[in-house]
Amino acid sequence: MSDPILKLEGVFTNIAQYHILQGVDLTVSRGEVTMLLGRNGVGKTTTLRTIIGHWRAHQGRVMFDGQDITKLPTPAIARAGVGFVPEDMGIFADLTVEENMILAAVSGAIDEARLQWLFTVFPALETFWKKDAGTLSGGQKQMLSIARAMIEERALYLIDEPTKGLAPAIITTMARAIKELKDQGASILLVEQNFAVAKALGDSANVMDDGRMAWSGQMSELTQDAELQERLMGLSMEAH
């Protein structure tokens, strides 16, 4: 396991009167895909949203690349090198695919070479380049959401359920894109309910339950222990 790029230490996050995260400890190692697993409603999305600053941790620390980002505003966290792909994709429907990508190139103009590479990963983007993003299908929107995060190199990617509701062929495309990101040296914190994708991509795994981390370890350890899977997530990965 390499050194951590992201570390959550005893993070508590409330949303209104609800105590969602109750002392979350999480480590994302540099250059690895760290899976964040668990049933619906255990706090996986809240964890990502706390890291990116949409929700504020009222207790605990979020350390990114040695810097305490707990109280930083969201734009500062993003510019520090954190890319975010939300569960609802967050694409701008009123903008074209091209405009979505231009907006995502925060540093300036789009890097053409990187854009051409993205077109090889997501050919549909080039096809629908001038179309309003709102007219895309669900899978195409998800491709755009991930491509938008990838248009500039980031040190850490927070990706929330990229394969939700997608056809198997599109899931394969998503998984390949995430693998390519990892091959480039990016660190990824990936929330995923598709256990096949989790098994294929994950280096390490963290399982949440009731706002806390119930288990952390290597992905290989989790995949080989069906009883552990059933205990932590209610069913085995093979049954999924």
Residues that bind other proteins (CB under 8 A): 52-54, 73-75, 78-79, 84, 86, 88, 90, 92-95, 99, 102-104, 106, 134, 148
Residue 224 CB, shortest distance to other proteins, in Å, is 36
- Round to whole Å and give the CA distance between 193 and 35: 10
Nearer to other proteins by C-beta: 95 or 121?
95
Residue 91 CB, shortest distance to other proteins, in Å, is 8
Contact 131, 100 (CB under 8 A): no
Residue 202 CB, shortest distance to other proteins, in Å, is 24
Nearer to other proteins by C-beta: 95 or 226?
95
Q: Residue 93 gets which letter from DSSP?
A: T
Contact 198, 37 (CB under 8 A): yes
* DSSP labels, 68-96: E-TTS-HHHHHHTTEEEE-TT----TTSB
Residue 75 CB, shortest distance to other proteins, in Å, is 5
Q: Residue 147 gets which letter from DSSP?
A: H
Nearer to other proteins by C-beta: 93 or 239?
93
Nearer to other proteins by C-beta: 29 or 74?
74
Nearer to other proteins by C-beta: 106 or 235?
106
The residue to which tokens 């981390």 are assigned: 213
Residue 116 vs residues 141, 180, 212, 213: alpha-carbon distances, Å: 18, 14, 41, 39
Helix 112-121 / helix 168-183 crossing angle, nearest 10 deg: 140
Residue 90 CB, shortest distance to other proteins, in Å, is 4
Q: Could you tell me the two tokens for 79?
A: 């510019």
Closest to 140 (Cα-Cα) out of 122, 114, 158: 122
Helix (H, G, I), strand (E, B) or coil at 213: strand
Nearer to other proteins by C-beta: 68 or 94?
94
Residue 240 CB, shortest distance to other proteins, in Å, is 27
